Amino acid sequence: MATLGIDFGTSNTAAGIAVDGTPQLIALEAEAQTLPTAVFFDFEAKEMRIGAAASDALLAGSEGRYMRGLKSLLGTRLMRERRVLLGERLDFIDIVARFLARVKSQAEAA
């Protein structure tokens, strides 16, 4: 049985599995074992991008909302502040949950 662990870092996020007690990191994107802890809500494509794709969208000048440092908001009152993103009212807890769900999905697909 495999166990998945996620390291949700301020700057980068990593995922690993333990198979029969032996840990190993998973390549989450483009053979990299970490991805930037970044989210980009692309207003034109109407989708949420994470990791390097989020940073790439920002640098390409796509219209949207870029977020980093989400971990620094954990445990603060700001976590409950809501923003309208892609037609939904989301608080930062929702955004972090969606980020982690996407990381989990990518790790399981690897």
pLDDT tens, residue by residue, 85-109: 999 999 999 999 999 999 999 999 9
- Which residues in 19-50 are b (16+ Cβ under 10 Å) and which e? eeeeeeebebbeeeebbbbbbbbbeeeeebbb
pLDDT for the residue 21: 84
Q: What is the pLDDT of residues 3-52, one digit of tens each?
A: 899 999 999 999 999 888 889 999 999 889 999 999 999 999 999 999 99
Query: Are 34 and 28 within 8 A, CB to CB?
Result: yes
CATH number of the domain enclosing 90: 3.30.420.40
- Asked if pLDDT for residue 2 goes beyond 80, the answer is no
Reported as half-sphere exposure (CB side, CA atoms, 13 A), residue 57 has a value of 23
What element of type H or E holds 103?
A: helix 92-109
Query: Are 65 and 84 within 8 A, CB to CB?
Result: no
Report how far residue 81's alpha carbon sits from residue 47's, in angstroms, rounded to the nearest whole number. Answer: 21
SS3 106: helix
The count of domains in the chain is 1
pLDDT for the residue 1: 64
Cα-flanking dihedrals φ and ψ of residue 11, to 5°? -100, -40
Which residues constitute the domain of residue 100? Answer: 2-109
